[in-house]
Amino acid sequence: MSDKRKRVSVDQSSCIGCGTCIKVCPAGVFKIINGKSHAVRPDACIVCRACITHCPTSCITISPREYEPIKRLYEG
Amino acid sequence: MSKAYLAKSRLRKLEAEESLPNKLTKLLVEAGMEDIIQKGNIVAIKVHFGDTSNSGYRYIRPIFVRKVVDLVRSLGGIPFVTDTWGLKHIESAVKNGFNYATLNAAVIPANGIKENFYYVVKVPDAFHIKEVQVAGNIYDADVLINFAHSKGHPSSGYGGAIKNLAMGCTSYKTRGEVHNLEKLDDIGEKFQEGLVDATRAVLQNKKGKVIHINYIMDVQPMCDCAPYSDNPIVPDIGIAVSTDIVALEKATLDLIDNAPPAPYSIAEKLGLKPGDNKFFKIHKKDPYIQVRAGEKAGLGTQRYELIEI
């Protein structure tokens, strides 16, 4: 499919590297690198939002998915 | 043939009783709410609280939820207002106007503060999702009032009563499984069939104890979960109610498709006309798939009689 998946980001200044997001994410989006979580596979996100619900420092955000049909309507 | 009831937002007279919040009460009584709620019943009212950044604004106005709460209380029910995404969504809800002060009912997460309270419900002959994690407080409620906002959605073309239950009354695991189905085709077919599987599970212990409401106002192109809102694609229509979720969704989609495009909207930009399948033209996903799948799965019938009050 041509649609891009949701983009996931982790605020590095708030992340405490606890690994909760890794435990709850069913898609393997996150990885701990140098003691902090990084969204290394953001394209794999299936938008279940478990990471946001569980993160103890609320440092994860998922930006809206960019669906091509509607994106073209707004940007075309 | 099932009955669907409609209250139009257009005023017929300059009188308070003609205003839509008051007509909602009449609509629910007409649709049989008094037969569904018994004194002492715990009644879940499922709405969408809006996006977590409090940037979108075209969700159900809290005054309408308050009217539902008032009616539930007058019938002896004990209402609570609820949505998924855990306690963090309650924080957003309060900012968006959904709280005890405005609603006169508890506002609580559907499935626990971190979405870990659920019951596993099996779906016989499912299209795709054979086991669904149904939100615990929805499952435990004696009565479910499914109060949905009808609007566009990029995954299914449209989201209303079916999607409000499928994605809004389940756990993150089930939501993820349903969203994963999007990868299987480009027209939203499998995704919408997954919505129907999840809806079946949510409704499994609610026979004769559920009523569905579609708020056909602020029919914006995108979902309430998006951190933005746009002008509605059609003029405000009103509120429709039925105990048959398939009939309600079919009636709602027909009303939206038969309406003219709203000025200054993406529908106007696209040159849409009355009679067009508007959500298909906007999202390239046919929203009637979920209606047909719902009928096939035994959730109701597409044949409806629309009764305007």
Q: Do the Cβ atoms of A52 and B85 come within 8 Å?
A: yes
Q: Do the Cβ atoms of B175 and A48 come within 8 Å?
A: yes
- pLDDT score of A3 more than 50: no
Residue A49 to residue B47: CA distance in whole angstroms: 18
Question: What ipTM was reported for this prediction?
Answer: 0.86
**DSSP single-letter state for residue B170:** B
Residue of chain A whose alpha carbon sits nearest to that of B184: A1
The pLDDT value recorded for residue B264 is: 97
Chain A contact present for B222, CB below 8 A? yes
Residue A73 with chain B: CB contacts under 8 Å: 266, 269-270, 282
Which residue from A52, A74, A71, A48 is spatially nearest to A61, judged by alpha carbons?
A: A52
Residue B182 with chain A: CB contacts under 8 Å: 1
pLDDT band at A6, cuts 50/70/90?
low
Backbone angles phi, psi at B242, to 5 degrees: -160, 160
Residue A48 with chain B: CB contacts under 8 Å: 172-173, 175-176, 179
Chain A contact present for B181, CB below 8 A? no
By mean pLDDT, which of A19-23, A39-43, A61-65 is the weakest? A61-65
Q: Which residues 2-61 on chain B approach chain A with CB closer than 8 angstroms?
A: 52
Residue with tokens 């407080």: B137
**Is the CB of residue B298 less than 8 Å from the CB of residue B245?**
no
Indicate the residue of A53, A67, A69 with minimum beta-carbon distance to B85. Answer: A53
Token digits for A6? 């949701």
Domains of chain A by start residue, with CATH: 8-75 (3.30.70.20)
Residues A54-66, mean pLDDT to the nearest whole number: 90
Q: Do the Cβ atoms of B176 and A53 come within 8 Å?
A: no
pLDDT in tens, chain B (309 residues): 999 999 999 999 999 999 999 999 999 999 999 999 999 999 999 999 999 889 999 999 999 999 999 999 999 999 999 999 999 999 999 999 999 999 999 999 999 999 999 999 999 999 999 999 999 999 999 999 999 999 999 999 999 999 999 999 999 999 999 999 998 999 999 999 999 999 999 999 999 999 999 999 999 999 999 999 999 999 999 999 999 999 999 999 999 999 999 999 999 999 999 999 999 999 999 999 999 999 999 999 999 999 999
Token digits for B56? 């979108």
Nearest-neighbour CA in chain A from B300: distance (Å)? 28
The pLDDT value recorded for residue A4 is: 46
Residue A3 to residue B283: CA distance in whole angstroms: 12
Would you tell me how many other CB atoms lie within 10 Å of the CB of residue B146? 28
- pLDDT score of A16 more than 80: yes
Residue B176 with chain A: CB contacts under 8 Å: 26-27, 46-48, 50
Residue A67 with chain B: CB contacts under 8 Å: 154-155, 283
- pLDDT score of A72 more than 90: no
Q: Which of B53, B172, B177, B184 to mutate to test the interface with A (most CBs of A within 10 A)?
A: B172
The pLDDT value recorded for residue A47 is: 85
- pLDDT score of A5 more than 60: no
Residue B124 to residue B198: CA distance in whole angstroms: 11
Indicate the residue of A1, A26, A70 with minimum beta-carbon distance to B154. Answer: A70
State in Å, rounded, how far the first CA of chain B is from the last one.
19
The pLDDT value recorded for residue B211 is: 98
Indicate the residue of B172, B177, B282 with minimum beta-carbon distance to A49. Answer: B172
Interface A-B, measured as beta-carbon pairs within 8 A, has a size of 58
The pLDDT value recorded for residue A43 is: 87
Helices (H) then strands (E): counts for chain B: 13, 12
Residue A66 to residue B230: CA distance in whole angstroms: 16
Residue B224 to residue B58: CA distance in whole angstroms: 7
